[in-house]
Amino acid sequence: MSCRIYMDHAATTEMLPEVREAMEPYLREEYGNASTSYDMGVRMHDAIEEAREKIAWVIDAQPEEIFFTSGGSESDNWVIKSVAGEKKNSGKHLITTRIEHHAVLRSCQYLESLGYEVTYLDVDDYGLVSAKEVVHALREDTTLVSVMTGNNEIGTIEPIADIGAQLRARGIAFHTDAVQAVGQIPLSMMRLPVDYLSASAHKFHGPKGVGFLYARKNQDLSSFIHGGSQERGKRAGTENVAGIVGMAQALVIAAQEMPYTRGKITRLRNYFAERVRHEIPNIRLNGHPYKRLPGNVNFSIEGIDATALLVLLEEEGICASAGSACNTGQTRISHVIEAIRVPENYAAGSVRFTMGRDTTRRDVDACVDALKRCVIILRQG
């Protein structure tokens, strides 16, 4: 059955009509290379710079602090590997958490293979890491800390401002993977003590294959892709003009709609969670009860296999996931679910529902009713 109710907005979002319209000229007649000096190329260059200004405006940054990438994974890789390399003479120790996206975790593991040391901080049962724990883990040779803004699986929002304040006072670089948070919750680089931030357009109704990296002025950031002089010599390669323009348009729309959509989605999330917890026995909500991303609901259901549950839900026309979209097809329990110590008899039944701007109360009711039916079928086995 086709997807009738889409409850997997954390995996990706539908591209808005306004975004497609903004991109259309750059997929047809405006096909020039932004690095050329004639008029067609100049127009491409101007479109890129206008998009850079829009993105900077939304997150309270300077345009020169925005670098375009292929998405969140590239941005994460760029920061972690670049900063570690630039600062290796000062130290080769990094800190992150056990619940980061694999783009962060595997970048850190790669650095470990080169002789770096990485401290992986534990989180509490809600998925929170405290600024105090980060400070306790600091060493004289610590050069970078990476803590995500909002967890992609369980939705917990980390205390980024508190962590960043502690690190800034000590002169240690701070990166946050904000892929799930940008466009969902307000973020101001003027107020947040963050040095680097990663984002991906397809999480806020933009196109796939494009993202950005925020890098605060005067912070170390070496070239990640060598070649031409694009992105001020930091990332070579002909720019994806259509994608960049679409991303900027999507982010502006998200920012304009946020005062309404954030509250609406949060209310739906809470309604969904309360119905499920009251109507399905032996179920637990994962993540923090209120310090969480607006549309994220993650449950672990006792005695249920999440893969089997998702198959039944799809037959009901409902699209959800067992966690990060990057882990689809894996049978092992998510590293996030392990890190928050979900009991063994619940862990295998962990499933994520994520709502978006167009989700309705009718969608939520239909999803809960279908979930109840599917759980009964699987428990009767």
Alpha helix stretches (DSSP H) within 72-188: 72-86, 102-113, 131-137, 160-170
Distance from C-alpha of 206 to C-alpha of 250, rounded to nearest angstrom:
5
CA distances from 201 to 5, 31, 87, 146 (A): 22, 21, 30, 21
CB of 320 closer than 8 Å to CB of 374: no
CB of 136 closer than 8 Å to CB of 145: no
CB of 73 closer than 8 Å to CB of 224: no
Active site residues: 326
- Buried (b) or exposed (e) across 245-264, using 16+ Cβ within 10 A? bbbbbbbbbbbeebeebbeb
Is residue 380 within a helix (H) or strand (E), and if so which, with residue range?
helix 361-380
Residue 340, Cα to own-chain centre: how many angstroms? 19
Distance from C-alpha of 131 to C-alpha of 162, rounded to nearest angstrom:
6
Q: Could you tell me where the beta strands, DSSP code E, fall in the chain?
A: 5-6, 66-69, 93-97, 117-121, 142-146, 173-177, 196-200, 211-215, 283-286, 296-301, 318-319, 350-354
Residue 72's nearest CA partner among 107, 37, 99, 98 is 107
Count of positions (residues) in the chain: 381
Find the helix packing angle between 241-279 and 361-380, rounded to 10°: 60
**Is residue 28 classed exposed, middle or buried when 0-12, 13-18 and 19+ CB atoms within 10 A define those classes?**
exposed
Distance from C-alpha of 10 to C-alpha of 156, rounded to nearest angstrom:
13
**Angle (CA) 204 207 212, round 5°:** 70
CA distances from 354 to 64, 232, 294, 297, 342 (A): 33, 37, 9, 6, 20
